[in-house]
């Protein structure tokens, strides 16, 4: 089996593993893999109860990687994520206690529930991939991927992430409710979860209990996939498409803030990973169109006239893509 | 100028100074001390030369202190004491002279007053109508601004959208591609234009770009075209060279009419 076949098998196994606990959501699994293979960070946005946490949990266990989960709350402090120095009274010296950020896969659950200074601390670590505790600077493990989830900003008790911080996320994927068949399947699977007996007591199983701890691949499989992603060819014509698309978001009359150069980089990186996942060694316009919403929508800010007219960023982006062709 | 010894005023000099004033203009005298019992103005008659009023009376030892206000109706010199009488009816012979002089601004034979100066014409319709007009303008101005802005937006939108139809855009690109004269940017534009062409042809304008592209790839003729385009524009090492003349031949003579007929 050559390396390319190994990568394909690795991806199929991950999809199958996640599929055992999460129904549907093929697109979000693909986006998670894109983020993983391009060392980008991903923000999952959706209403509560769409299996965001379960999905990431299943992915973390499928690949043999360190996995941490932090539930963001309003009283969380930067030290709760990054770590801190603790005074050891017996030796009268400070010892470093590393926080949950020192991991391969960090699930920042409901990131928009934390105060801005906590969000800022995490996003700085995401950008620089290192953390300073006291006088020491520590590099974060490789690979390091943040998968953040957030509820829609209209919900009460949330702090909206500012544009500059949203730009740090390579992808922002919006999860939809499952369709009727998928929802029926979810309910049927839930009926068969069973119970867990321990001693004389028993408790009903949840989906988290049935996620297998057996990994389907290790760090070498992931490294192989990352290596293959970097070898995907991006033509000059494809780069022209990307520049045209990002440029149009900056000059559209309804858009106040368009895509940054980082958005263009994210489109190219994402397109490479998507091409690799789809078994190609070159990127095509389909990759660009498929990822445009996830890469650009969270980076675009509409002006007041557009908002007053009831337009949405997704409408405008689709209009821009149609005008390109 | 006569200094009055028996009359004193509450000013530092203590003297009553005779004063000149125009006819019809009121003048005041404050704190004038006059000896004797309390005084009052004589009743006015039809031909009176002076209108005299006592505005305040205050006791001042055995005498009284008066505030007077007077106005001349005829030109000439007069004595204010002639227009005062005692309340108890006793004589006013002991009063000193209180001389005043009135001057006329007009000539002696002038009977009619000057014509008033020409002022500004009143606003048309008056103040109320002016406010209503201002209110209407205030309400209309934002509407006009909004309409102008919308018109500008429409114009800029139409600039953003393609100025010509798909057939017009495709023709020069296809001819240049067949001649091998396309730049990288034009190659990208050709690919996007062909995607747009097929989207219109299969009437997929209402679909999202990715789902429209997926449907285009299901179409037999379109899928062959885009496979060849991929090979030409995106594949790093295509297995066989793409014959652009053959590939693009069906799109050479596409016009707006026959595009719609499809």
Cβ contacts of B48-53, under 8 Å, gap ≥ 24: B48/B73, B49/B73, B49/B74, B49/B76, B49/B78, B50/B78, B50/B80, B50/B83, B50/B100, B52/B80, B52/B83, B52/B84
Q: Which residues of A touch B208 (CB under 8 A)?
A: 318
C-beta of residue B187 within 8 angstroms of C-beta of residue B177: yes
Smallest CA–CA distance from A231 into chain B, residue: B236
Structural domains present in chain A: 1-182+215-231 (3.40.50.300), 232-325 (1.10.8.80)
Average pLDDT over residues B18-33: 87
What pairing do the DSSP bridges indicate for beta strands B76-79 and B99-103? antiparallel
pLDDT (tens digit per residue) in B149-191: 888 877 766 544 554 677 777 888 888 888 888 888 988 988 8
> What is residue B255's predicted lDDT score, i.e. its pLDDT?
59
Cα–Cα distance between B47 and A53 in angstroms, integer? Answer: 110
Chain B residue with Cα closest to A236 = B184
pLDDT at A222: 87
- How close does chain B come to A95, measured CA to CA in Å? 53
Q: For position A1, what pLDDT does the model report?
A: 58
Residue in this structure with the two tokens 């389909």, named with its chain if needed: A286
Query: Which of B257, B206, B249, B248 lies closest to B229, judged by CA?
Result: B248
Other CB atoms closer than 10 Å to residue A4's CB: what's the count?
14
| Residue burial A88-121, b: 16+ Cβ < 10 Å; e: rest | eeeeeeeeeeebbbbbbbbbbbbbbbbeeebbbb
Cβ–Cβ below 8 Å for B236 and A323: no
Which pLDDT value is given to residue B3? 33
Q: How far apart are CA A213 and CA B225, in angstroms?
A: 47
**Rounded Cα gap, residues B9 and B30, in angstroms:** 8
For residue B5, the model assigns a pLDDT of 35
Lowest mean pLDDT among A23-32, B4-13, B65-74: B4-13
Inspect the interface and report whether the beta carbons of B187 and A240 lie closer than 8 Å: yes
Reported as a pLDDT band with limits 50, 70 and 90, residue B120 is confident
Whole-angstrom Cα distance, residue A147 to residue A52?
10
- pLDDT for the residue numbered A22: 84
Q: Express each pLDDT in A221-232 by its tens digit.
A: 888 999 999 999
Low-confidence ranges of chain A (pLDDT < 70): 1, 153-155
Contact B209 A322 (CB under 8 A): yes
How confident is the model at residue B10, as a pLDDT?
Answer: 46
Q: Residue A286: closest CA among chain B residues belongs to which residue? A: B210
What pLDDT score does B158 carry?
Answer: 55
**Residue carrying structure tokens 């206690």:** A97
Q: Which of B151, B208, B217, B226 to mutate to test the interface with A (most CBs of A within 10 A)?
A: B208
ipTM of the complex: 0.81
C-alpha–C-alpha distance, residues B242 and A77, integer Å: 60
Is pLDDT above 80 for B241? no
**Contact flag B191-A251 (C-beta cutoff 8 Å):** no
Q: Are B206 and B216 in contact (CB under 8 A)?
A: no
Per the DSSP assignment, residues forming a β-bridge with A109 are: A71
Q: Collect all residues from A whose CB is shorter than 8 A from any CB in B.
A: 233, 235-238, 240-241, 244, 248, 251-253, 281-286, 289-290, 292, 305, 318, 321-325
Q: Specify the pLDDT at position B51.
A: 93
B144 to chain A nearest CA, in Å? 16
Asked whether the beta carbons of B1 and B97 are under 8 A apart, the reply is: no
Confidence of residue B83 (pLDDT cuts 50, 70, 90): very high
Residue B213 confidence class, pLDDT cut points 50, 70, 90: confident
Please give the torsion angle defined by the CA atoms of residues B77, B83, B86 and B91, in that order, rounded to the nearest 10 degrees.
50
Give per-residue pLDDT as tens, A28-79: 889 999 998 998 899 998 888 888 888 888 888 888 888 888 998 889 898 9
Q: Are A55 and A102 in contact (CB under 8 A)?
A: no
pLDDT at B242: 76
Please state the rounded mean pLDDT for residues B212-234. 88
CA distances from B139 to A130, A304, B134, B190 (A): 58, 21, 9, 50
Q: Which pTM was predicted?
A: 0.69
pLDDT at A155: 65
Please give the pLDDT value at position A126.
86
- SS3 state of residue A197: strand
Helices (H) and strands (E) in chain A, counts: 13, 13
Q: What is the pLDDT of residue B15?
A: 58
Tokens of A63: 């690949």
Q: Which two tokens stand for residue B118?
A: 């020409």
């Amino acid at each position: 089996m050559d390396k390319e076949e190994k990568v394909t098998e690795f991806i199929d196994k991950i999809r199958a593993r996640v599929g055992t606990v999460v129904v549907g959501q093929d697109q979000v699994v693909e986006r998670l893999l894109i983020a993983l293979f391009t060392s980008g960070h991903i923000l999952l946005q959706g209403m509560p109860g769409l299996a965001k946490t379960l999905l990431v949990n299943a992915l973390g266990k499928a690949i043999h990687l360190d996995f941490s989960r932090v539930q963001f709350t309003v009283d969380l402090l930067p030290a709760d994520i990054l770590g801190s120095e603790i005074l050891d009274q017996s030796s009268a010296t400070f010892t470093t206690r590393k926080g949950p950020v020192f991991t391969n896969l960090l699930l920042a659950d409901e990131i928009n529930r934390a105060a801005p200074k906590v969000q800022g601390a995490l996003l700085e670590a995401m950008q620089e991939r290192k953390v300073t505790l006291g006088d020491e600077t520590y590099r974060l493990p490789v690979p390091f991927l943040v998968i953040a989830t957030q509820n829609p900003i209209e919900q009460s008790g949330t702090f909206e992430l500012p544009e500059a911080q949203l730009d740090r996320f390579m992808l922002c994927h919006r999860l939809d409710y499952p369709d009727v068949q998928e929802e029926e399947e979810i309910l049927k699977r839930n009926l068969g979860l069973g119970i867990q007996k321990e001693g004389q007591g028993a408790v009903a199983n949840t989906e988290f209990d049935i996620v297998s701890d057996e990994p389907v691949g290790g760090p070498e499989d992931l490294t192989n996939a990352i290596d293959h992603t970097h070898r995907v060819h991006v033509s000059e014509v494809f780069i022209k498409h990307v520049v045209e698309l990002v440029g149009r978001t900056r000059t559209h009359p309804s858009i106040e803030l368009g895509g940054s150069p980082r958005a263009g980089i994210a489109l190219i990186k994402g397109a490479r990973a998507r091409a690799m996942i789809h078994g190609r060694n070159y990127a095509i316009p389909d990759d660009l169109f498929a990822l445009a919403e996830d890469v650009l929508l969270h980076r675009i800010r509409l002006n007041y006239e557009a908002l007053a007219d009831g337009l949405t960023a997704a409408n405008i982006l689709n209009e821009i893509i149609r005008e390109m062709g | 100028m006569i200094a009055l010894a028996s009359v004193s005023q509450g000013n530092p000099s203590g003297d009553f100074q005779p004063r000149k004033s125009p006819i019809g203009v009121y003048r005041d005298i404050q704190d004038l001390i006059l000896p004797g019992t309390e005084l009052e103005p004589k009743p006015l008659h039809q031909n009176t030369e002076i209108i005299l009023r006592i505005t305040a009376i205050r006791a001042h030892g055995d005498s009284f202190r008066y505030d007077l206000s007077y106005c001349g109706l005829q030109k000439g010199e007069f004595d204010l004491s002639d227009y005062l009488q005692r309340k108890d009816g006793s004589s006013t012979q002991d009063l000193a002279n209180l001389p005043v002089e009135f001057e006329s601004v007009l000539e002696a034979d002038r009977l009619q007053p000057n014509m008033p100066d020409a002022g500004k014409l009143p606003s048309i319709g008056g103040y109320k109508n002016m406010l209503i007009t201002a209110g209407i303008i205030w309400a209309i101005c934002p509407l006009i601004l909004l309409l102008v802005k919308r018109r500008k937006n429409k114009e800029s939108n139409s600039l953003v959208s393609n100025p010509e139809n798909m057939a017009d855009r495709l023709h020069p690109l296809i001819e240049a591609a067949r001649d091998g004269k396309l730049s990288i940017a034009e190659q990208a534009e050709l690919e996007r234009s062909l995607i747009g062409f097929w989207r219109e042809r299969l009437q997929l304008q209402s679909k999202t770009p990715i789902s429209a592209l997926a449907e285009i790839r299901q179409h037999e003729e379109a899928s062959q075209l885009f496979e060849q385009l991929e090979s030409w524009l995106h594949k790093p090492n295509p297995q066989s060279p793409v014959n652009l003349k053959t590939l693009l031949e069906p799109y050479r003579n596409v016009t707006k009419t026959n595009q719609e007929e499809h």
